[in-house]
Amino acid sequence: MKTRIEEFTVGQLARLAGVSVRTLHHYDDIGLLKPAHIAGNGYRLYGRSEMLRLQEIMFYRAAGMSLDEVGRLLDGPATAVERLIRHRDRLQQQSLRTARIIATLDATIAHLKGERDMELNDLYTPFSEQKQAEYEAWLVNEYGPDMAAGIAASRAAVEKLPDGMAGAMERLKDIETRLVAAYESGSAPGAEDLHPILEQHRALMSDMWGRECSADGFAGLADMYVSHADFVARYERLSPKFSNWLPAAMRVHAGRLRYGT
C-alpha cells in the first residue's frame, strides 16, 4: 500500500496557515518559499517540506525579522532543528526579561496602592491543584520522565511534615525574608554570612523532597529558578533583581559545599 503524499494548493495552504494567497505568491516571487512543483493546470502545489518552511518563516516574522533576514537565516548553514532551538532559546530569554519587567511593575503598583504587603503574603499560599499540576508537567517536560518519580516522592514527603505544605511555606517565608534583607543591605551573593540562611533553605528542600538536597541538587534548583518565567516573576515581586541574586548565591553556596570551602 502506497503512502499518500498530501499536497496543497496555494489557496488551501493560505487558509491552513492563516496568511493571504498574495503573501504566498510574494514569497514565491522572492524565492523565500517556492512550491514543491507546478501542476499541469498551472496550480502551485505545496508539500510537507514547504509547510514546515512556511511555519518557520512565520515564527521569525512574528519575532520582527525582515524577509531578507529570514531568507538569509533559512539559506544559512544551520539545520532547521538548530535554527528553531536557537529561536526558542531567544524567545525564552525574552519572556524571562518581560516577566521581570511585569513583576517589577506589579510590585511598584502594589506599593503605590498600599497593597504590597498583602501581595507578598500571597506568595506563601500553597499553589492551587491546577497550578501545581502545571508546574509538575513543566518539570517533567524540562527534566525528563524520571522527574515524575521525584515529584511523587516530594508530594508524599510534604504530607508527612508536621504542618504540611502550609508549614513549609511559613519556613520558606522566614528564610526568604532574611535573604531579601541581606540582598537589599548590599550583601554579595558569595558573602559568608549567608551560609546559615542558605543551609536552612537547603534543609527545607531536603524535607520537602524527602531526600537530601545535595550540592548539585541545590545548584539545579537555582537553575530552575531562572528558567521559568513564573519563578522569575515571583522573586522579582520580593525585590527587584532578586531573581538574579538568589540563584547566584545558591550556586556559590553549592560550590562551597562541593569543595568544603
What number of residues does the chain have? 261
Instruction: Tell me the per-residue pLDDT of 181-231, one tens digit each, with 9 for 90 and over.
Output: 999 999 999 999 999 999 999 999 999 888 999 999 999 999 888 887 788
pLDDT of the residue at 261: 63
Instruction: Specify the 3-state DSSP secondary structure of 45.
Output: strand
Q: Which of 122, 120, 121 minimizes the C-alpha distance to 131? A: 122
Tell me the average pLDDT of the chain: 85
In one letter, which amino acid is 39?
A
Instruction: Tell me the per-residue pLDDT of 90-102, one tens digit each, with 9 for 90 and over.
Output: 887 777 777 767 7
Position 165 confidence tier, pLDDT thresholds 50, 70, 90:
confident
138 pLDDT higher than 80: no
Distance CA 194, CA 97 (A): 27
For residues 54 and 106, which has the higher predicted lDDT (pLDDT)? 54
Instruction: Tell me the per-residue pLDDT of 21-53, one tens digit each, with 9 for 90 and over.
Output: 999 999 999 999 999 999 888 889 999 999 999
Single pTM value for the model: 0.59
145 pLDDT higher than 60: yes
Distance from CA of residue 119 to its chain's centroid?
A: 23
Q: Cell 511593575, residue?
A: 105
By percentage, how much of the chain surpasses pLDDT 90?
49
Position 1 confidence tier, pLDDT thresholds 50, 70, 90:
very low
Distance CA 119, CA 109 (A): 11
**CB neighbour list of residue 76: distance below 8 Å, 6 or more residues apart:** 83
- Would you kindly state where each structural domain of the chain is located, as residue ranges? 8-74, 95-259
- Name the fold adopted by 8-74: Multidrug-efflux Transporter Regulator; Chain: A; Domain 2 (1.10.1660)
Position 2 confidence tier, pLDDT thresholds 50, 70, 90:
very low
